[in-house]
Structure 1
Amino acid sequence: MNEEYENVQLDNETDSYIFKFYSKDASRIIPMHLHKEVEILYCIKGNLKIWINGKNLVLSAGEIFFINSSVPHATQSIRDSEVIVLYLSDNVFTKENVLINFVNSSETYRVYIETVQLVEQIYCISEKKERFKKYLQKSLVLKLEYHILKEFSNIIGDKGTKQLIQNEKIGKILDIIQNNFQNNLSLEKLSELSGYSMHYLSRKFHKSTGMTFYEYKKSLCLEMALKMIEATNLSLEEIALKSGFPNEKSMRIYFKKIMGINPQYYRMSKNDRK
């Protein structure tokens, strides 16, 4: 699919990319994906759902979360949310052969808050219209990396190495699904394309992502349907078929389950805002 969230473009001068997004509804869905860059999510307001390492968690206001390089993950905004997203190069963490695990406890609360403050500072500097801001931003990025390495890093052992290999396998499977989900892709066909058995795919995919193959496929279909509902005048039946759902009824049921409203009401609400 070649989406922006899979092809992160870091700024060469600061070795980072930072932005903030606001969400007034649950339509900001980023399906399961991975990228080489590490990612830091800081929830300022509202909540953010995160699917990672086979688990489903909710990031609340004031909380921060670190996603290591090449780890499959998915997110969905919850109404009235405000989140800062910071991407960093994985070079430093790879060179030091570490994985990061943010822990917010009574023992680590001070350093946890310092991490939040550094992310906020980097964002504030990035928003300034100042000629030499890139130097200050770069220095803060380096300080943040040092802080994370010092306080939250763990040496990659045999278990971590196995996990990296597993992530690479899952990444290749995700690519196959993303390139074929609109063509009535089945688990049997995915097995043929990937070279893995259906049993292996079903078990490993769910363990790594927290989703079944069909749940992930439907999330991709929903993402495409949302874009077409917002950007085209196609009928819901046409959108369902073009986005990979077997029929309009199937799309309406899944749409209501995830979004909380029917697709026709969603389209109406988006049109009212224009």
Structure 2
Amino acid sequence: MEFSHELIMPNQGLPFKVFLFEGGEGNYFRDKHWHRSIELFAVYEGTLKFYLNEEIFPLGTGKFMLVNSNEIHSVDSPEPNRTIVLQIPLKTFEDYYTGEQFIRFTHDPLPQDGQVMKLIGDIFGAYEERTCGYEMKVKGLYYMLLHLLVTEYRETDVTPDMVKWHKKLNRLSLIADYIKENYASELSLEALAEIFGYSTTYLSRMFQKYAGINYKSYLQSIRVERAFQELANTEHTISETAMNNGFPNSKALAKAFQKKYGMLPSEYRGMQREKRSHMSHPDQ
């Protein structure tokens, strides 16, 4: 099981982030990861399979998943879909915390689910159109969504164990941010432990207990995901991509890439070029 911490940056001019899910074309799997922000996945066409805290949640058209701060999750998107993702900074809810920097929302279906889906769709639609005054419209819809979340979906009965788990993953988030900045260099567990003032044994156990993976696999996951993005968005050679993302050579990248995505980097690069060619000449 591989995952990574994700750093969330809001859309320019807005207090949150909204975008179309990057796995909308299908044949996509996002490894287990976590972030401090609250995240909503709203499916408007097609289906997704969501993995949250070792549970499986199939998401069909018209359904959404709310991911709490520091909940480890992954997403399987084998088929094309249209899914809007909305990410809300945790600090937004500071007046409603039920523990130290802690708030939790239910995953259970509620009668208000349809309202949530409509608000997210309207937020994205207004943001995409960007007509005169769209910022005010988007923010108005956004605050209606926040009101719905804190009044109908917030859980007030939280356990000390939940808060403790949240705090541990907050500490891991600081370490993960550092790794995300330095993943392309040689970054041993020993060096990382020294930087953050932990023993190697303690840091290793911390990853294993609270994130369910060893450090080496975690780092590998980040590197292969970054390589995937580089292959999709640049014309760098596979060897260049390997070196840019911390792999010793193209063979090591190919092995990790095939394990994660079920194809070789060369196959993926070929698919991307074919897709771009078709977009440039749609009538061919």
Same structural fold, with TM-score higher than 0.5 when normalized by the shorter chain: yes
From 214, 218, 221, give the equivalent of 2:220.
218
Instruction: Show the 5 A alignment for 1:64-213.
Output: 64-69=64-69, 77-98=77-98, 99-105=103-109, 108=110, 110-155=111-156, 158-213=160-215
Does residue 41 (structure 1) correspond to residue 45 (structure 2)? The answer is no
Query: Which amino acid is 1:270 matched to?
Result: Q
Change (3 A) 1:103 1:251: same
Please, what is the CA RMSD of the aligned residues? 3.1
**8 Å contact from structure 2 (residues 65, 107) kept in 1:** no
Shift of 1:148: 1.2
**8 Å contact from structure 1 (residues 100, 148) kept in 2:** no
Q: How many residues align?
A: 264
Shift of 1:174: 0.4
**8 Å contact from structure 2 (residues 59, 65) kept in 1:** no
Percent identity between the aligned chains? Answer: 23
Change (3 A) 1:228 1:139: closer
Bigger RCO (CA 8 Å, 6+ sep): 1
1:136-185 deviations in Å (ceiling 9; x for gaps): 43332222112111222123664444234212211112023223322232
How far apart, CA to CA, are the structure 2 residues paired with 1:149 and 1:232? 42
**8 Å contact from structure 2 (residues 32, 74) kept in 1:** yes
Change (3 A) 1:130 1:202: same
How far apart, CA to CA, are the structure 1 residues paired with 2:257 and 2:272? 15
1:3-42 deviations in Å (ceiling 9; x for gaps): xx62412555x6333222453244575873525x432221
Match of 2:281 in 1: none
Shift of 1:96: 1.2
Return 5+ residue gaps in structure 2 as ranges.
Answer: 1-5, 277-284
How far apart, CA to CA, are the structure 1 residues paired with 2:210 and 2:52? 8
Change (3 A) 1:93 1:213: same
Q: Secondary structure at the match of 2:112?
A: helix
From 235, 238, 247, give the equivalent of 1:245.
247
1:64-94 deviations in Å (ceiling 9; x for gaps): 2223346565656444132101133434421
- Which has the higher mean CA deviation after the structures are superposed, 241-250 or 125-134? 125-134
Q: Secondary structure at the match of 1:9?
A: coil
Match of 1:60 in 2: 59
How far apart, CA to CA, are the structure 2 residues paired with 1:233 and 1:16? 32
Query: Which amino acid is 1:103 matched to?
Result: H
Change (3 A) 1:129 1:193: closer
Return 5+ residue gaps in structure 1 as ranges.
Answer: none
Q: TM-score, normalised by structure 2?
A: 0.77
How far apart, CA to CA, are the structure 1 residues paired with 2:74 and 2:172? 13
How far apart, CA to CA, are the structure 2 residues paired with 1:64 and 1:268? 33
Q: TM-score, normalised by structure 1?
A: 0.79
